[in-house]
Structure formats: structure tokens, C-alpha cells
Amino acid sequence: MIFFTRQLCQDIQPKSGRARAAEREWNRRLELSQRYESLIQPLLPSSVVRFSRKSFHDAAVGAVSQSFGRVAVILAARPRASGSYRGHRARLTFVGVRRRIRTSGLVGQWWLYNEIHLCSRTKFSLHLLFTKSKLEIEANEILIEKL
């Protein structure tokens, strides 16, 4: 994660003692990340652009599977989640994945934040921050399926 680090996520919590300063920093980084995303958007596949308009914040990882160049993640969004899929389940399939992704321990974690970046090996790199871990997936496309 480049813009939204775990430390910043912890600092912005009301009882951290650093919430006011962290909120100012969060807003500064939010503006930077939005400018960055608008600059790289023309270079991203259309499926990734569509994905960037969705939010899976607070969705729980229900299952993860990998097979020959694909990684599938099943997410279950809580009814009170703040993301676009509130109260629904979705399958994200990353196509054109060039290396094995370490997925052990992801099931049950909550999706907190994500950032999309350009990548020299594939068409994009998705950086994910979960409650207990982080993950980077380099792929060529994202398929989103509502379950």
C-alpha cells in the first residue's frame, strides 16, 4: 500500500489519540490517490476501471482459490458495510495472474482498502489491505460477479 497504510488506518480511529492529525493526513493522501488514479486510468483495462468504481470495504473473505493463471476471491459484504456490495456476495476473478499468490489465512479477514497501480509484468497491480494482512495481485483483468 502506498497511499493508505496500516498505520494510518490505525491512527485515524477515534481512540488512537492521533485521530485529528491522521484525518488531515488521510484527506491529503485521498486527494493524491484520486489524482494518481485519474492519471493512470486511461492505461488500465476497462474491467479494472469498472472495479475501481466499486467498493468492497468491510466485506469478509469467504473463500479463495487459485488455478492456472487465475485467482478467485469470494466476498460477503455485511448488511451494514459501507461498500457498494452491502449485504451481497461477490466473486472477484483475477485473470492473467503470473505468479502464485500467498492466500493462506485470508478467509475470515475483512477487506479494508485497495489501491490500483500500473505494473511492468501485467496490466495492473492491485494492493489490498485486510484486517490482519496485505496482498498484492498482479493480473491482466478483473471479473466481478454478483452471487
pLDDT at 57: 79
Do 38 and 61 lie in one domain? The reply is no
Q: Give percent above pLDDT 70 in the chain.
A: 93
Do 29 and 68 lie in one domain? The reply is no
> 31: domain range?
1-43
Q: Give the pLDDT mean for 76-85.
A: 64
Do 59 and 96 lie in one domain? The reply is yes
| Residues ≥6 apart with Cβ < 8 Å to 68 | none
pLDDT at 75: 82
pLDDT band at 117 (very low <50, low <70, confident <90, very high): very high
With b for 16 or more beta-carbon neighbours within 10 A and e for fewer, the 86-122 pattern comes to eeeebbbbbbbbeeebebeebeebbbbbbbbbebeeb
DSSP 81-140: -SSTTTT-EEEEEEES--S----TT-TTPBEEEEEEE--SSSSEEEEEEESS-EEEEEES
Reply yes or no on whether the pLDDT at 83 is more than 70. no
Average pLDDT, the chain: 89
* Rounded distance between C-alpha atoms, residue 63 and residue 25, angstroms: 34
Do 74 and 136 lie in one domain? The reply is yes
Do 37 and 61 lie in one domain? The reply is no
Q: Give the pLDDT mean for 26-51.
A: 95
* Rounded distance between C-alpha atoms, residue 86 and residue 76, angstroms: 8
The three-class DSSP label of residue 56 is: coil
